[in-house]
Amino acid sequence: MTDARRSAVAGASHVFYRKLHRALPRIVRGEGVWLYDDRGKRYLDGSGGAMVVNAGHGVPEIADAVGAQAKALAYVNGTIFTNGPVEALADLLAAKTPPGIDRAYFLSSGSEAVEAALKLARQYHVERGESSRRAIIARTPGYHGNTMLALSASAREHYKKFYGPWLLDVVMIGAPYPYRSGPLGAISPEMTGDALESAIQKAGPESVAAFIAEPIGGSSTGASVPPPEYYGRIREICDRHGVLFIADEVLTGAGRTGKFFALEHFRMPDGSAVVPDIITMGKGLNGGYAPLSAMLTKSTIVETIAQGSGNFQHAQTYSHNPLGAAAALATMRYLDKHRLVERARTMGAVLQTKLRDAVLQGPGADIVGDVRGIGMLAAVEFVADLQTKRAFPRANKVAEMLVDKALERGLVVWPNVGHADGVDGDLAMIAPPFTISEDEIDTLASSLSSAIGDVAHALST
């Protein structure tokens, strides 16, 4: 066992860390896009943690709002009482959602929100007399969370290796993934929506409860953007077969792609908004200041349950808690006040250009298959062969190596693996706070390019 592994597993700390192969730096302070450890080293948070931090670290007015709420009221039982922050946050979100989405159910994590959304779809169908609708259709690559139902709907084979016997069968279709499934406008079923139509027909329309998808790819497809007409087609298919469409905006919601919801980038054939039946949010909703997620849905769905059993059967101790809602409310107000979603769009264009130029002209360009993204969400995909797009063998751990090399250079990025074929595939996600300056983007792009060069050198020796 190496010294690093020994210190992580058997060191002085009693913390059971998520990563056990190395000792972790201890962060003591965050400010803007920067993190500072207890040894004085600073890191540019190029991924906003886990694509969470949008308003920036250490914003005094958000921190003050959380403190004031904790002093006034930190917790009440959401089955007995309501509270001011929950009501205000629901009103704010209802004003931002597509037409008809006007009810908010608050939880603590993105996984919980997805779990609740899938359960809501099932309960809705049962309460309206269609109990045969039990099938879920999801996409591969794709990721929706770590709770058991959410993990069942995710295409993470390295996670399912341990928990597969406990998971439900979910129908999987190919995700629109332009780098690997064809360019925009390609006629492959994954790119047109025909894959969903075929899956529903094969399963039997009367048996399908819901289709769940990330409107723009998260870490699983590395910020891949579907064709502009894709979701209009998806909405039409779901409507025709009575299937609920769940838009998983846990990662992309709250402005990450330059619009408040990623689904706003897409339109119906007549130019109107694409309106899902359920939206899940997390991550940027709370900006990292306190755990909170949301499931947003239509009042017609809620009314069906109200007129039936009268209860949504999804109990969570910390649902509708005032402290998390206060943090999210302050974050949303800060985004609005400083027009940070608009900034994610305009400065995001700068980020995309500078990343692409630095990485594709940098010392490790020969292992970079693609640089892509939208707004403040970007990805670099690594390949062993640029012509064939062949992925590196998983044993090389290229994404993990890149994260370590970037960290040595004071840059935080987020890895993902397995997207090429379920096992192989390496990419890095870039998703900084929306407040990042152009000079800081230059630092991010330069540091990332150098770290990629370090990886390419290590692979060649």
Structure tokens at 280: 């899940």
Lay out the sheet containing 34-37: strands in order across. Answer: 27-31, 34-37, 42-45, 411-412
In this structure, what is the dihedral angle of CA atoms 201, 231, 190, 349, given to the nearest 10 degrees?
Answer: -170
Helical packing angle, 438-460 and 398-408, nearest 10°: 130
Residue 73's pLDDT is what?
A: 98
CA distances to 224, 368, 416, 427, 429 from 177, in Å = 6, 17, 15, 14, 15
Q: Which residues pair with 385 in a beta bridge?
A: 390
- What is the CA 22 to chain-centroid distance, rounded? 26
Alpha carbons 231 and 265: distance in angstroms, whole number: 10
156-159-161 Cα angle (round to 5): 110
Lay out the sheet containing 278-281: strands in order across. Answer: 101-107, 293-298, 278-281, 244-248, 208-213, 135-140, 171-174
Fold of 3-58+339-460: Aspartate Aminotransferase, domain 1 (3.90.1150)
Residue 191's pLDDT is what?
A: 85
Alpha carbons 429 and 433: distance in angstroms, whole number: 13
Alpha carbons 266 and 287: distance in angstroms, whole number: 25
Strands 411-412 and 414-417: unpaired
Closest CA to 285 of 430, 30, 92: 92
Closest CA to 374 of 272, 278, 457, 251: 251
Query: Which own/partner pairs from 263-272 qualify as long-range (CB within 8 Å, at least 24 positions apart)?
Result: 263/98, 263/215, 263/231, 264/98, 265/215, 265/216, 265/225, 265/228, 265/374, 266/215, 266/226, 266/228, 266/229, 266/230, 266/231, 266/232, 267/228, 267/232, 268/232, 268/235, 269/229, 269/232
- Give the H or E element holding residue 373: strand 368-374
The domains of the chain are located at 3-58+339-460, 61-337
List b or e across 403-415, with b for residues whose CB sees 16 or more CB atoms inside 10 angstroms.
Answer: bbbbeeebbbbbb
Closest CA to 179 of 368, 349, 47, 51: 368
Alpha carbons 290 and 279: distance in angstroms, whole number: 20
Residue 5's pLDDT is what?
A: 44
Fold of 61-337: Aspartate Aminotransferase; domain 2 (3.40.640)
Structure tokens at 108: 């603590």
Please say whether the beta carbons of 76 and 69 come within 8 A.
Answer: no
Closest CA to 216 of 208, 227, 224: 224
Alpha carbons 224 and 191: distance in angstroms, whole number: 11
Alpha carbons 35 and 5: distance in angstroms, whole number: 24
Please say whether the beta carbons of 203 and 168 come within 8 A.
Answer: no
- Could you read off the pLDDT of 289-298 as tens digits, one per residue? 999 999 999 9
Scan for tokens 């991010």, then name that residue: 444
- Which 3 state secondary structure label does DSSP give 90? helix
In this structure, what is the dihedral angle of CA atoms 250, 255, 260, 261, given to the nearest 10 degrees?
Answer: -40
Q: What is the pLDDT along the chain (461 residues), one digit of tens a residue?
A: 344 444 445 567 899 988 888 889 999 999 999 999 999 999 999 999 999 999 999 999 999 999 999 999 999 999 999 999 999 999 999 999 999 999 999 999 999 999 999 999 999 999 999 999 999 999 999 999 999 999 999 998 888 889 989 999 999 999 999 998 765 545 678 888 999 999 999 999 999 999 999 999 999 999 999 999 999 999 999 999 999 999 999 999 999 999 999 999 999 999 999 999 999 999 999 999 999 999 999 999 999 999 999 999 888 899 999 999 999 999 999 999 999 999 999 999 999 999 999 999 999 999 999 999 999 999 999 999 999 999 999 999 999 999 999 999 999 999 999 999 989 999 999 999 999 999 999 999 999 999 999 999 999 98
Please say whether the beta carbons of 378 and 398 come within 8 A.
Answer: no
pTM: 0.95
